[in-house]
Structures are given as C-alpha cells and as structure tokens.
C-alpha cells in the first residue's frame, strides 16, 4: 500500500496536536512500532513549532504538511510561507537558536535528525521554509523478531 496525504492548517499552537495526530493516524495503518510513531510525532511537533514560532513569529499564517508512504518509507514535508532561514547550516547546528527570550533549546533540528533517517531543509528568506524528513519503517517481521 502506497499513499499520500496533504493537509493545511493555521499556524497556531492549538493546531500543533492536530498535526501530530493527523500524521500518526495516517501512518498507523502501516503498523509502525510504538517507538516509530512516537519518534515521528516528536519530529512533526518540532517542525510545526518552528513554523509557528520562527517562520510566522506567532503571527497568522498557514502550515502545509505532506505525508507519503512508499515501500514503508515515510516522507513528511512541513512547509511554511514565513520569514525563511538565512543560513541553513548554522540553523541546524545543535544549540543554535535565534529565539531571543531564551525559551528555546536550539535542539529542534537535532531532535528531528535523531528520530528520522534524514532531514533536509530548503529555505529562502522572505519566501518560506520546507523541511523534508524521511524514515523507513521496520517490517512486521523485523518487529516480531525484536520482541
Ligand atoms: N520554519 C522556520 N522558519 C524560520 N526559521 C526557522 C524555521 N525553523 C527553524 N528556524 C531557525 O532555525 C533555528 C534552530 O531551530 P531549532 O533547532 O528548532 O531550535 P529552536 O527552535 O529551539 O530555536 C531557529 O532558532 C530559527 O532561527
Ligand atoms: Mg525548534
């Protein structure tokens, strides 16, 4: 079974749990492990929070998510039309944050990279940001073997 889902929703923190649940419900049909579902949910949360806080700076905006599963490879795209990132490499450095109030840890991209197989960031200042994350789900057989 190969499948694709596209959703868009307002960039509000109250919509963050919706995004997480929508993606996990979509992927649940592929029998992921509980760990895989939790890892994907956490990565989605980090990406959506970034779009809300950094991309749109807590102003109105729309977040776009695409989720595709092909041969058990999950591809999730989280996109915004917010302020964009000037230096992507620097932004992805562990502990780097532009959030001035010190509430952010600067570990969002690191968390996404830890929980997903690959994280790619495309961004243009003034245009927006697109994060493409992929992760291959274990097959049911492997899952059973690992107990
Ligand atoms: N969607 C986005 N739009 C604009 N800037 C972003 C976006 N996502 C991340 N960034 C930039 O990358 C930095 C690092 O992000 P992250 O690793 O999640 O750490 P944190 O969110 O704690 O600052 C942010 O501080 C911000 O400057
Ligand atoms: Mg973050």
Tell me the pTM: 0.94
46 is catalytic: yes
Residue 142 confidence (pLDDT): 54
Token pair recorded at residue 125: 């200042």
Mutate to test the pocket of ligand 1, among 50, 103, 108 (most ligand atoms within 8 A of CB): 50
Neighbours of 67 (CB within 10 A): 22
User: Which atom of ligand 1 is nearest to 109's Cα?
Assistant: 17
pLDDT tens, 102-145? 678 899 999 999 999 999 999 999 999 999 999 999 987 554 44
pLDDT tens, 68-88? 999 999 999 999 999 999 999
**Domains with residue ranges and CATH for the chain:** 3-136 (3.30.565.10)
Which residue has tokens 């980090």? 46
Residue 141 confidence (pLDDT): 56
Which residue has tokens 């960039």? 11
Neighbours of 36 (CB within 10 A): 20
Q: How much of the chain, in percent, has pLDDT values that exceed 90?
A: 88
Neighbours of 113 (CB within 10 A): 16
């Amino acid at each position: 079974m190969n499948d694709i889902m596209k959703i868009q929703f307002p960039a509000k923190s109250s919509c963050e749990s919706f995004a997480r649940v929508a993606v996990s419900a979509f992927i649940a049909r592929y029998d992921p492990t509980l760990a895989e579902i939790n890892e994907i949910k956490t990565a989605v949360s980090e990406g959506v929070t970034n779009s809300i806080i950094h991309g749109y700076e807590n102003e109105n905006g729309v977040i776009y998510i695409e989720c595709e599963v092909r041969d058990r490879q999950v591809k999730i795209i989280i996109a915004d039309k917010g302020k964009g990132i000037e230096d992507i490499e620097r932004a992805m450095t562990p502990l780097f944050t532009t959030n001035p109030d010190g509430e952010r840890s600067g570990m969002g991209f690191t968390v996404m990279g830890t929980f997903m197989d690959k994280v790619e960031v495309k961004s243009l200042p003034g245009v927006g940001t697109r994060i493409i994350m992929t992760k291959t789900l274990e097959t049911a057989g492997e899952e059973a073997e690992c107990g």
